């Protein structure tokens, strides 16, 4: 009789900020969660890039990655993702080359294409004095190549105003970060395949084209010096507790955050479980919340693990990346996130 192997698990953290937390508290809760993931066997711990959000302190992945790498011992740490159109390729290459030099063979550079914010904040990120030109998105494929090349020992040859020079992200690199491409479309999947890069499809975003995108990635894959065959990660939202009812209650605060983003409501920090339960939603909003909850992994340990096994088998992915969305009851230490910690513990092999 054949047996189904439980997939390799990693962690995605948006550095959530609760009503009872300062930014400092949220960062400390993230560091505690990363230490736990390191101890109990998760493979990677990635942080996302979002800007001008009251519910997230994850504005600067390389700064957070430095903190996480210092706080942990074994686990790979990285960005999920650095949103390349917000940054110049050389700066990104310098940041992650230094992180890799300080923590050899433990750094992942996940690269994405979106802005991670609203149009006004996006303009502030890209177009202030000395800002990034508007063709940054159009030049995205070339910028990916530049980042990868500049982190290598040989660097990349550049010509400006008739002068040719080698650009290197750091003086004497001995190892380089593993570079991943993140996306939520078949276009990004094909780009990752054509470049021979490992790929993360944004399944947790609920866009509904996971199978199509992963097929596009695998069918277009061309081996590269970085990667001989396709490698994939599937991110999911997960809330796990002793029972389904407890897990659903714990998921409510983040369900409300996502509802607010989808319906254009005013921003707010993440509510406590008690606060979330008191909110009465209009039928249309309740329908959105129910649809999201049905796409998330919510349940007791056995059921949640079975759901994750099913997703990994359905999409034939190499890893599943857990975004632990479990909220917190009132009275918890602001520098901790007990619900998220419980989710990781209950899913650990």
Contacts of 256 (CB under 8 A, 6+ apart): 271, 276, 279, 289
Residue in this structure with the two tokens 């009812």, named with its chain if needed: 245
pLDDT-above-90 percentage for the chain:
89
Q: Tell me the pLDDT band of 1, cut-offs 50, 70 and 90.
A: very low
How does strand 107-112 pair with strand 178-183? Answer: parallel
Q: Which CATH superfamily is domain 8-347 in?
A: Luciferase-like domain (3.20.20.30)
Q: How confident is the model at residue 160 (pLDDT cuts 50, 70, 90)?
A: confident
Helix or strand holding residue 196 (H, E):
none
Indicate whether 148 pLDDT > 70.
Answer: yes
Phi-psi region of 296 (alpha: psi -120 to 50; beta: other; left: phi over 0): beta
pLDDT of residue 131: 46
Residue 2 pLDDT more than 50? no
φ/ψ (deg, to 5) at 223: -55, 145
Question: E-assigned strands of 194-344?
Answer: 199-201, 232-240, 297-299, 319-324
Task: Give residue 136's pLDDT.
Answer: 54
Position 4 pLDDT exceeds 80: no
321's tokens? 């990346």
CA distance linking residue 176 with residue 104, whole number of Å: 8
CA-nearest of 277, 278, 312, 316 to 297 is 312
Residues 6+ apart with CB under 8 A from 166: 154, 155, 156, 157, 158
What's the pLDDT at 87? 93
Inform me whether the pLDDT recorded for 205 exceeds 80: yes
- Which helix (H) or strand (E) segment holds residue 166: the answer is strand 163-167
* pLDDT tens digit sequence for 238-253: 999 999 999 999 999 9
Section 259-273 average pLDDT:
96
Q: Single out the residue of 302, 293, 349 nearest to residue 326, CA to CA.
A: 293
Report pLDDT digits (tens) over 75-133.
999 999 999 999 999 999 999 999 999 999 999 999 999 765 667 776 776 655 344 55
Q: What Cα–Cα distance (Å) separates residue 179 from each residue in 133, 144, 265? A: 24, 9, 35
Average model confidence (pLDDT) for the chain? 94
> Which candidate, 348, 255, 253, places its Cα nearest to that of 301?
348
Report the pLDDT averaged over residues 257-270. 96
Residue 108 · residue 100 · CB < 8 Å: no
């Amino acid at each position: 009789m054949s047996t189904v192997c439980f997939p390799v698990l990693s962690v995605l953290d948006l550095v959530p900020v609760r009503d009872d937390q300062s930014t400092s508290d949220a960062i400390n809760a993230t560091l505690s969660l990363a230490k736990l993931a390191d101890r109990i066997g998760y493979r990677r711990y990635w942080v996302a890039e979002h800007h001008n959000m009251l519910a997230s302190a994850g504005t600067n992945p390389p700064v957070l990655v430095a903190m996480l790498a210092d706080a942990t011992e074994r686990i790979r740490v990285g960005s999920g993702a650095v949103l390349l159109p917000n940054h110049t390729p050389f700066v990104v290459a310098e940041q992650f080359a230094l992180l890799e030099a300080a923590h050899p063979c433990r750094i992942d550079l996940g690269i994405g294409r979106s802005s991670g914010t609203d149009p006004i904040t996006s303009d502030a990120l890209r177009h202030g004095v000395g800002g990034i030109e508007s063709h940054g998105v159009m030049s995205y494929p070339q910028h990916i190549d530049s980042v990868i090349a500049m982190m290598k020992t040989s660097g990349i040859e550049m010509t400006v105003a008739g002068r040719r020079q080698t650009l290197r992200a750091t003086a004497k690199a001995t190892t380089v970060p593993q570079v991943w491409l993140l996306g939520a479309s078949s276009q990004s999947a094909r780009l990752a395949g054509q470049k021979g890069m490992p790929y993360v499809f944004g399944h947790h975003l609920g866009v509904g084209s996971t199978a199509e995108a992963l097929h596009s990635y695998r069918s277009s894959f061309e081996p590269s010096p970085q990667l001989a065959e396709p490698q994939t990660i599937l991110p999911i939202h997960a809330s796990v507790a002793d029972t389904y009812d407890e897990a659903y209650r714990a998921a409510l605060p983040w369900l409300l955050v996502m509802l607010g983003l989808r319906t254009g409501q005013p921003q707010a920090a993440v509510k406590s479980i008690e606060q979330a339960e008191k909110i009465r939603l209009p039928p249309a909003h309740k329908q959105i919340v129910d649809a999201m909850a049905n796409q998330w992994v919510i349940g007791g340990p056995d059921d949640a693990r079975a759901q994750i096994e099913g997703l990994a088998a359905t999409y034939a992915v190499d890893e599943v990346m857990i975004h632990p969305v479990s909220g917190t009851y009132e009275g918890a230490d602001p520098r901790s996130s007990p619900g998220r910690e419980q989710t990781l513990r209950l899913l650990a092999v």
